Amino acid sequence: MREIKSRDDVFVLVSSFYKNIRQDETLGPIFNAHIQEKQWPEHIEKLTDFWVTALFGKVCYKGNPAKAHKKVDHNLNHSINQIHFGKWLQLWFYTIDKFYEGAIAQRAKDAARKMATSQYLSIWKNRPHQIEINN
Answer whether 1's CB lies under 8 Å from 35's CB: no
First to last CA, the chain: 60
Q: Which CATH architecture has domain 7-125?
A: Orthogonal Bundle (1.10)
Q: How far apart are CA 110 and CA 118, in angstroms?
A: 13
The DSSP call for residue 36 is -
At residue 133 the predicted structure's pLDDT band, cuts being 50, 70 and 90, is low
Q: What percent of the chain has pLDDT over 70?
A: 96
User: Domain limits of the chain?
Assistant: 7-125
Backbone angles phi, psi at 118, to 5 degrees: -65, -40
* Angle (deg, nearest 10), helices 40-56 and 103-125: 110
2-60 tens-digit pLDDT = 999 999 999 999 999 999 999 999 999 999 999 999 999 999 999 999 999 999 999 99
Asked if the model's pLDDT at residue 135 lies above 60, the reply is no
70-89 tens-digit pLDDT = 888 888 888 899 999 999 99
Instruction: Spell out the long-range contacts of 87-96 with Cβ–Cβ below 8 A and sequence spacing 24 or more.
Output: 87/24, 87/26, 87/27, 88/21, 88/27, 88/112, 88/116, 89/113, 89/116, 91/17, 91/20, 91/21, 91/24, 91/27, 92/17, 94/20, 95/13, 95/16, 95/17, 95/20, 96/13
Q: 115 vs 62, 66, 129, CA distance in Å?
A: 16, 10, 23
pLDDT for the residue numbered 79? 87
